[in-house]
Amino acid sequence: MPRIADVLLHAFGHNLVDGFSAFLFAATGPGAMTLAIGTAAKLPFDQIAVWMFAGYSLSGVLTVFVCYLYRQPFAFGYSMPALVIVGPALLQLSLAEMVGAYLVTGVLILVMAFTGFIRRATRALPEPIVMAMVAGVFMP
């Protein structure tokens, strides 16, 4: 366990600035992206506000619940990579279609997890193939 003097010695200067800038980016980045995507998709402001509220509040509630359940520190947050994927899709699909696609995808993933399909698929696919598929999702 570190001594208090050691913690205080390293808690200032560039460490404090690095931590604060990471916090600031993580806390405001998804909100700014949501505003930009919602505005570009011409969503009403109340829908954008609900979207932002759900993203931040559900992340917080899930963090508290899982930390309490497992007695370990976890952090759940608003996903910026998901927003990068949602942005262009929302310009082509309606919000209802996007929500429906998310719900159907969630149910399919749940079914695949309970049947053991995901475990078998992960063992069968080589890691470089998986990484290439992930990279391909984010390429234009």
**From CA 13, how far away is CA 62, in angstroms rounded?**
32
The reported pLDDT for the residue numbered 120 is 92
Provide the residue ranges of all domains of the chain, joining segments of one domain with +: 1-79, 93-140
Any residues with CB less than 8 A from the CB of 83 and at least 6 apart, and which?
Answer: 30, 33, 34, 37
- pLDDT in tens for each of the 140 residues of the chain? 778 887 777 777 788 888 889 888 888 889 999 999 999 999 999 999 999 999 899 999 999 999 999 999 998 888 888 888 888 888 899 889 988 998 999 999 999 999 999 899 889 999 999 999 888 887 86
The reported pLDDT for the residue numbered 10 is 76
**From CA 134, how far away is CA 112, in angstroms rounded?**
19
The reported pLDDT for the residue numbered 105 is 94
